[in-house]
Amino acid sequence: METLSRLVETRRSTRAPFDPGRPIADRDLRHVLEAARWAPTPHNMQNFEIIVVDDQDVLKAIGDITSRVTLRFLKENYQQLSFSVGELRQKKTGLLSTWFPKEWRNADTLEEACRKAKPTPVAETLQGSPMLLVVISDSRKGAPDSPGDVLGILGLGCVMENMWLMAHSLGISFHIMSEFGEDPVEKVAKRILNVPEYMKVAYACRLGYPLHASKPGRELRVRRDVEEFTHQNRFGERIRGRTK
């Protein structure tokens, strides 16, 4: 129990550059994929396929795909940002604004930031990773009795968490690349990876070993206390008689 708790608490998203000369061992990859295999999915439908990308030419082709930040992306992200360590500690949710490029943070309006943003290659997020796992699902299918396929999406999330925790237990860093789920990145990536039209890219995750430690201050991690998000019997009635 202590080992699992420690894994859960220390798991994190690693945004640092990875060492392209240090590949993921086959045995470790197998452990990660086995963890995905045993992830819970609705009705045991196992609604996922995983493409392991470790060929350098394919990784380069994917890295050359460009994407442009959207106004929606900026608006949704700004809602989660704190502009000081003190603010982040108080809110206990979200991220420090230093994760955003300076030209975005210094713009007078989000519209201006969107105009200033230049198309960026996926390589800037891939950052030398020797391996990419692309998780796809069949868009023609959905979990039974689940409007919007909410349960199916939860299953894909369970696959992600299982792989993430296993990778972390093996000392492998893990980072979700969300841009793969949207055009034009998804469309081009599907063509490069020969993914059928009816399949949808849920997400991609890069695996590897960081070249260096993250910059001081950027590793601040905050979470609400259990008492702040737990209700007992009825919404609004805080859990009682419990210790942290």
Please give the distance of CA 62 from its chain centroid, rounded to a whole number. Answer: 17
pLDDT for position 109:
82
**Residues 75 and 45: beta-carbon distance below 8 Å:** no
Residue 238, phi then psi, degrees to nearest 5: -65, 145
Domain assignment present for 205: yes
Residue 56 within any structural domain of the chain:
yes
CATH number, position 156: 3.40.109.10
* Sign, Cα dihedral of 14, 19, 20, 21: negative
pLDDT at 136: 97
Do residues 58 and 126 make contact, with C-beta atoms less than 8 angstroms apart? no
203-212 b/e (C-beta count within 10 Å ≥ 16 → b)? bbbbbbbbee
What tokens does 177 get?
């690349």
Find, among 169, 162, 172, the residue nearest to 7 by Cα.
169
- Residue 194 sits in which domain range? 10-65+132-213
What distance lies between CA 63 and its chain's CA centroid?
17
Beta strands in the chain (DSSP E): 49-53, 66-67, 81-82, 95-96, 120-121, 131-138, 173-177, 199-208
Tell me if 39 is assigned to some domain: yes
| Domains identified in the chain, total number | 1
Is residue 111 in a domain? no
Q: Comparing C-alpha atoms, which of 234, 226, 171 is closest to residue 12?
A: 171
Peptide bond into 144 cis (omega under 30): no
Residue 193 lies in a domain: yes
Q: Is residue 169 part of a domain?
A: yes
pLDDT by 10s per residue, the chain, length 244: 468 899 999 999 998 999 999 999 999 999 999 999 999 999 999 999 999 999 999 999 999 999 887 888 788 888 888 888 899 999 999 888 887 777 777 777 888 878 777 888 999 999 999 999 999 999 999 998 899 999 999 999 999 999 999 999 999 999 999 888 778 899 999 999 999 999 999 999 999 999 986 554 456 889 999 999 999 999 999 887 655 4
Tell me if 243 is assigned to some domain: no
Evaluate whether residue 91 is within a structural domain: no
